[in-house]
Structure formats: C-alpha cells, structure tokens
Amino acid sequence: MKTKLQRSLFAAALVLTVLGAGKVTAQNRINNLRPYDQSGINVFEAPKDTAAAFEEIKVKFGAGFTQSFQNLKHKNATGNLYKISPGFNTANANLFMDVQLADGIRLNLTSYLSSRHHNETWVKGGYIQFDKLPFKGEIWDRIMAVTTLKVGHMEINYGDQHYRRSDGGQTIYNPFADNYILDAFTTEIGGEVLVRKLDFFGVAGVSNGMIKGNIDVLTPTDQDANIHKTPAVYFKGGYDKQLSDIIRVRVAASYYTNKSSGGQTLYGGDRTGSNYFMVLEKAGSSASAQAFSGRVNPGFSKEVDAMQLNGFVKAKGLELFGTYEAAQGRTKNETKERKANQVAMDAVYRFGKNENLFFGARYNTLNVRLPDVAAVGTAPAIIYTQDMKVNRVAFGAGWFLTRNILLKGEYVRQEFKDLPVADYRNGGQFKGYVVQAVVGF
C-alpha cells in the first residue's frame, strides 16, 4: 500500500512539475527567486526587486533531476570493505513549488522525490520570504527597501558553500560531483533577517538548532546533566560587488552557535546522501543506511560553535571560490570539546557561448578529532589520540546543452590518514570518476 501511494505521489508530482514548468512566462514568474537552472549559478542570497508589480497569486513548479554513473575503487588496511563495481547510482529528484502569495511575499516548498538516503518522497522544508510587508507607511517602505525576512523550516544561511553544493537532485550549481568532506548544511525551524545596502550585507538568524521539530526534554548523562535545549543563533556579514563588466568580488564571514541541543546536525543535516556511493564503507553496509560515503561528520550533536570564511572572485570566465572553516563541539557523552578545521579551494573556468562549457579543480582538506567510540557506549572501543586527516583532490568538467540540461564529469582521489588500527577507514582511500546527467528548471 505504501509503495503504491509513493508511486502515486511521485507521478502526481511529475505531472504538476511538467504542467507548472510549461506555464512559466513573464506573466507568472515568481519574484525574488534564485533560478533553478544555469542562470542560478553564482547567485548567493536570492535577488531583491521591490518594483515588481503584483496582480494575483501565482504558482510555479520546478525540479532538479540527477542520474549518476560511477567507476570508483577503494581500499583500506584490512580489506573488509563493501565490494563495488562500475554502475549507475540511484537517481535523485527534487520538486520545487514557489508561490507568489502577495506583493513582495513568496512561499517555497521543496520536496525530495527520490534520494539515496530516502528513496521515498520526503519534504525538505518550506518557508515564507518577505521582501515587502503588508503594512502602509513610509517607515515600512524604507525598512523593506533593504531588508528581507525569511520564516519557516528552511536551509539556514550559514556560510557561502551551501549555495554551491549538490542537494539531492538539484546539482546544477555544483561544478563537481559531491560536496565538501565537512558538509555544513542543515534545515532548521526559525527565522532570519537579511539587510543589503551599498554592496554590503548582513544576516542574523535564530532557529531551534535541530533538523526537525522536537518537544522532548533532553536525557541527562553522567557527563552532561543539562536537560534544557537552547536555540541556535547565527550571523553572517560580507561584501559583494561587481567592480567592472568582467570582475566581481565577494567576501563573507559566518558564525553559528548552539550551546545545548537535543540533536544538533550542522554537519549532518543532509537528508539525501553523497554522490560517492559506498566508498570506504564496511562489507554488509547498505546505500541508504550508510548514505554519506566520503564525508566526515564530527558528531557535535550537543554543542557546536562554528565559523566559516569565504572568498569569491569572478574575472570573465575564471572563478575562484575559497573556504576556511573552524568548528568545535561535543556530544552529550563527552565533557571536553573537540575541534575540526577545513580548507577548500575551487578554481573553475567557464567558456563558450553563454559560458556553457567549463572545467575546474578542487582541493579539500580536513583535520578533525573524532569522539572516542567508548564514550558513547559502543564496543569495541576505538580511542582517537590525534586528529584524523582527510585530503581530496577533484578535477571536473561540464557542458550545458541548454541552460536546463548539464552533462558533467569528475575524477576524484581521497585518502584518510592518522586513524587508529581499529577504525576500518585506517589506510583508506578511493579514486575514480563520476559522470552525471543533470536537469534543473
């Protein structure tokens, strides 16, 4: 019964997507929305246009589809890994519904129709964005001329890298096959304020600090008797300017803190999974249960403080995007905080008509201290006496057949270092290529 219902929902979503996409015209385009196709690349915060006229409620359906083929090989010190061979991965699909509710007010609802971690339809979240308020008065007009408000269950605006990552079937913004090793991304219930003035911008937000709603009292442990949840608070500030016809510069700094959570997921909030299927996973694993192959979650589930610095330069077709990230936190079974540090650099060159061709390189490295397995009551015990190091180098290339259709490929090599012998990733590495066919509209 469940399978039939899922298929019916999937079919209905596809029909609505096709019908909605066919009606996207100048008359019913949604205002202040980041496009889901090629034109959305290098768009960070959604654009703001307060001059657009409102006539009636408008609805737009969009989608992101990704089909991957991978030929990756992996190894570790013991050889007890899941056996993999070249083949197609589970296709990912997202459904977007955007509604112009009123003048300067729009609603977004995003659903994962199919993904590695959840093969069934799964709602990512939804929010309302206010670029105008339904109040009359010059003071409100002045405030909202530079202000955007978002309220709901939404992808929080921490860091800039989340604007370039793959999110389920929506992979058109990412010139590579997967995201950073330490993937800062989560959806939380809350609100944020964005102010933009003279090429400067600032964000302040507060959320429940968890990927979903939670009204439960926290369970005390021997290490942490605190049973009170606290909200997460985050800030972001930066400068984004088109210096000339060919040069754009953007710099941003973000900070996120949550002092007592029932399930903090800043580095584990992706509900879709990575696009490196089953690499460095144990024999007997499954693609859905072990959905984040190649990534590292430091497990800061009780407390976390994180900072991310980003720099972006585009000169004609050349793009440089850099990230430095430092975080510390712990689980409820620990008394001391652990640290994680990540550096990443993308260099991408786009050329051809409308920059429809590109090639690029990415370097990503992570140092992180993992929690001792003995501390969370799992046997056999693994004691981490030093930071684990993970290094990744990737080379990618792509071709936009149209602004909605992308074919891209990546060669990647990643290795894990300084792990205890008891950790199955000890001596681990993987390498090979991933090819993806992508549609976004």
* Residues 184 and 172: beta-carbon distance below 8 Å: no
Whose tokens are 């570790």? That residue is 76
| Ordered domains of the chain (ranges, CATH) | 2-436 (2.40.160.10)
Alpha-carbon span 236 to 307, nearest angstrom? 10
Alpha-carbon span 233 to 193, nearest angstrom? 12
Give the pLDDT of residue 405. Answer: 98
Whose tokens are 């984040």? That residue is 292
Alpha-carbon span 394 to 174, nearest angstrom? 13
Give the pLDDT of residue 372. Answer: 87
**Which has the closest alpha carbon to 52: 22, 21, 29, 84?**
29
Phi/psi of residue 430, nearest 5 degrees: -140, 155
User: Tens-of-pLDDT digits for all 441 residues of the chain?
Assistant: 344 434 444 444 444 444 444 444 444 579 999 999 999 999 999 999 878 888 899 999 999 999 999 999 999 999 999 999 999 999 999 999 999 999 999 999 999 999 999 878 889 999 999 999 998 889 999 999 999 999 999 999 999 999 999 999 999 999 999 999 999 999 999 999 999 999 999 999 999 999 988 888 888 998 888 888 999 999 999 999 999 999 999 999 999 999 999 899 999 999 999 999 999 999 999 988 899 999 999 999 999 999 999 999 999 999 999 999 999 999 999 999 999 999 999 999 999 999 999 999 999 999 999 998 765 555 567 889 899 999 999 999 999 999 999 999 999 999 999 999 999 999 999 999 999 999 999
**Which has the closest alpha carbon to 409: 68, 88, 65?**
68
Strands 200-207 and 247-258: unpaired
Partners of 340 in beta bridges: 327, 368
This prediction's pTM: 0.91
Cis peptide before 371 (omega within 30 of 0): no
Alpha-carbon span 42 to 38, nearest angstrom? 9
* Residues 233 and 209: beta-carbon distance below 8 Å: no
Beta strands, E only, 208-356: 232-242, 247-258, 303-315, 318-330, 338-351
Burial class (CB in 10 A: 0-12, 13-18, 19+), 263: middle
Helix (H) or strand (E) holding 226: none
